[in-house]
């Protein structure tokens, strides 16, 4: 998974193993997710070096297909580098919640509690270390539990 021979990716592309589920109008194959799953599993099982095109195939490509302009979608190119930056999208809470100097929402005592009682923060907006789907889901669960406790305390 960690090696990335360009020739392997080119051969996968020629065999139709990249963009399997994408529309044919954007260079894809319009195959099912099940078919892609089978190909992926077979490749992983033999330790194929899929790393170089992995993100493009499943994340950047689908994002461009869904959100980019048609001009961008049709642009032939050898690769795409997406940079979304590292500034958390917390402008909305500026001057409302306590933010740190990098604009992440501050949470209190390893909980999801913020500077306002009853407002809880989770996921990437309060995490400048891990920023992963699984950690966001974990802190989302923490926030749900903290919110439940808060609501119970109001009822008591």
Ligand X SMILES: Cc1cc2nc3c(=O)[nH]c(=O)nc-3n(C[C@H](O)[C@H](O)[C@H](O)COP(=O)(O)OP(=O)(O)OC[C@H]3O[C@@H](n4cnc5c(N)ncnc54)[C@H](O)[C@@H]3O)c2cc1C
Give me the helices (H) in the chain, please.
6-14, 33-45, 51-55, 61-67, 70-74, 133-155
Q: How far is CA 130 from the centre of its chain?
A: 12
Quote the DSSP letter at residue 57.
I
Among 89, 118, 128, 144, binds ligand X (CB under 6 A): 89
If binding is defined by CB under 6 A, does position 128 make contact with ligand X? no
Of 5-13, 97-105, 111-119, 125-133, which part binds ligand X (CB under 6 A)? 125-133
Selected from 52, 65, 119, 136, the binder of ligand X by CB under 6 A is 136
Q: For residue 63, which phi and psi values (nearest 5 degrees)?
A: -65, -45
CB of 55 to ligand X, least distance (A): 6
d(CA 110, CA 101): 18
Helices (H) and strands (E) in the chain, counts: 6, 0
Cβ 144 to ligand X, closest distance in Å?
A: 13
Instruction: Decide if residue 134 touches ligand X (CB under 6 A).
Output: yes
Structure tokens at 14: 């020629």
Task: Check residue 123 for interaction with ligand X (CB under 6 A).
Answer: yes
Residue 85 CB, nearest approach to ligand X (Å): 10
Which stretches of the chain bind ligand X, using CB under 6 A? 59, 84, 89, 92, 123-124, 131-134, 136
């Amino acid at each position: 998974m960690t090696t990335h021979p360009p020739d392997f990716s080119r051969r996968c592309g020629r065999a139709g193993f990249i963009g399997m589920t994408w529309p044919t109008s954007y260079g894809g194959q319009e195959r099912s997710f099940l078919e892609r799953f089978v190909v992926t599993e077979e490749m992983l099982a033999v330790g194929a070096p899929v790393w170089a095109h992995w993100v493009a195939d499943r994340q950047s490509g689908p994002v461009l297909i869904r959100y980019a302009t048609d001009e961008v979608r049709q642009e032939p190119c050898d690769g795409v580098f997406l940079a979304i930056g590292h500034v958390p999208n917390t402008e909305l809470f500026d001057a409302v919640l306590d933010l740190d100097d990098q604009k992440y929402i501050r949470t209190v005592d390893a909980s999801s509690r913020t500077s306002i009682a009853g407002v809880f923060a989770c996921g990437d907006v309060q995490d400048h270390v891990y920023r992963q789907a699984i950690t966001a889901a974990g802190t989302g669960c923490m926030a749900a539990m903290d919110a439940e406790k808060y609501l119970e305390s109001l009822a008591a």
